[in-house]
A and B are shown apart, each in its own frame.
Chain A
């Protein structure tokens, strides 16, 4: 069986990618943010994964409102970075873990999920930025990817509980896969931010810091929270945090919090990272 070697949580703010593109890494605004990710990058180098499962939401780039899948899974050979309006980014395309992705789709449907299955699709900053944060800017990515899209934009978005259940199926899929690949799972999005309405610019640093510890040691309350509670505590776009639950549910009940980092603001967002490993 394949092996889960770690669960990572991270923000995926597009400005992070733009900052790297513009060479702003070591400016006063960005240096503390990127420095805090060095431990995560180092962990990744040593962990030597073969496959990265990336749970993220599209931001009106690969999906328009004409069709909005609640959950979608990629089974493509290759995922090109999508032009989000600023022009193409010079990062390599992502190679798909095709057979493993189909295996995950099989398992999902057996477990009564109904994903949209994507054979040909581009990926936006929701996948790009987490990959850049943990793998840097290689000439080619050292892992194959399994992208999972979660709708967090048009309501109704899925419930936190449903994200949790998907994580359980993801674990089953990894453990029932005949290969011996080493798999990391990246839950992405958040932390607190709100881009719309008079409360725009809302950042809740206390809730963010509590989240980074709680997702490791006591995720149960976050699984039980309503979507309204997420929006209230983390802002309208901060509800993206439900996607970390897919990652967390795939891990053991007990995990070790290996690395943690928080920085606010990254653009308009409270930004953070955790690296989790399964405990016995």
Chain B
């Protein structure tokens, strides 16, 4: 199965390669489930990120909230959502960033959200 998962277009599954590559990034994000770590992250991102041994490109992706890049580096949405929770960033903005379209287009065209009023 790990070989085949790459065959569905534009659909990166969290397979062995991703899980191994993203481990430290996801571990950093997982820790944000604890309030004291959220405070540390909010207070000084550099110091917080330094605790987890991230590469420079991983740190840069987190600090710039480049969701597309975080996923490319093996970040899994369920973990990096905890970064979004601190900000807070709506999940649909993360979706739009990965789809490479505007948030508005993402909501109405891709998700089929209805316009009210």
User: Quick check: is B64 within 8 A (CB to CB) of the other chain?
Assistant: no
Q: Which of A156, A200, A227, A228 is the most central at the interface, judged by chain B CB atoms within 10 Å of its CB? A: A200
Residues of B within 8 A of A29 (CB): 113, 116
User: Quick check: is A82 within 8 A (CB to CB) of the other chain?
Assistant: yes
B1→A199 contact, CB < 8 A: no
B8→A268 contact, CB < 8 A: no
CB closest residue in chain B, given A265: B111
Residues of B within 8 A of A61 (CB): 33, 78
CB closest residue in chain B, given A228: B4
User: Quick check: is B40 within 8 A (CB to CB) of the other chain?
Assistant: no
User: Quick check: is A201 within 8 A (CB to CB) of the other chain?
Assistant: yes
A contact residues, range? 35 or more
User: Quick check: is A153 within 8 A (CB to CB) of the other chain?
Assistant: yes
Cα distance, A196 to B13, chains bound together (Å):
8
B19→A199 contact, CB < 8 A: no
Contact with B along A264-277 (1 / 0, CB 8 A): 11011000000000
- Of residues 86 through 117 on chain B, the ones whose CB sits less than 8 Å from some CB of chain A are 86, 88, 91-92, 94-96, 98-100, 106, 110-114, 116-117
Stretch touching chain B among A71-79, A83-91, A213-221: A83-91
Residues of A within 8 A of B113 (CB): 29, 265
B106→A201 contact, CB < 8 A: yes
B contact residues, range? 35 or more
- Given A65-B19, A201-B110: A156 in contact with B33 (beta carbons within 8 A): no
Selected from B12, B88, B95, the residue in CB contact (under 8 A) with A201 is: B95
Q: Which of A60, A82, A205 is the most central at the interface, judged by chain B CB atoms within 10 Å of its CB? A: A60
CB closest residue in chain B, given A88: B35
Cα distance, A59 to B81, chains bound together (Å):
10
Could you tell me the distance in whole angstroms from the C-beta of B4 to the nearest C-beta in chain A? 6
A82→B95 contact, CB < 8 A: no
- Of residues 19 through 70 on chain A, the ones whose CB sits less than 8 Å from some CB of chain B are 28-29, 59-61, 64-65
- Given A153-B14, A197-B71, A198-B98: A87 in contact with B35 (beta carbons within 8 A): yes
Could you tell me the distance in whole angstroms from the C-beta of A48 to the nearest C-beta in chain B? 35
- Given A197-B11, A197-B71, A200-B95: A153 in contact with B111 (beta carbons within 8 A): no
User: Quick check: is B9 within 8 A (CB to CB) of the other chain?
Assistant: yes
B19→A236 contact, CB < 8 A: no
Could you tell me the distance in whole angstroms from the C-beta of A117 to the nearest C-beta in chain B? 23
Q: What are 7 A-to-B residue pairs whose CB atoms are below 8 Å?
A: A60-B76, A83-B34, A155-B19, A197-B10, A198-B99, A200-B99, A264-B112
Q: Which residues of B contact A (CB under 8 A)?
A: 1-2, 4-5, 7-16, 19, 23, 26-27, 30, 32-35, 38, 71, 76-79, 81-82, 85-86, 88, 91-92, 94-96, 98-100, 106, 110-114, 116-117
Q: Which residues of A contact B (CB under 8 A)?
A: 15, 28-29, 59-61, 64-65, 82-87, 153-156, 194-203, 205, 227-228, 231-232, 235-237, 264-265, 267-268
- 8 nearest A-B residue pairs (beta carbon): A85-B85, A198-B10, A201-B110, A85-B82, A199-B10, A60-B78, A200-B95, A28-B116
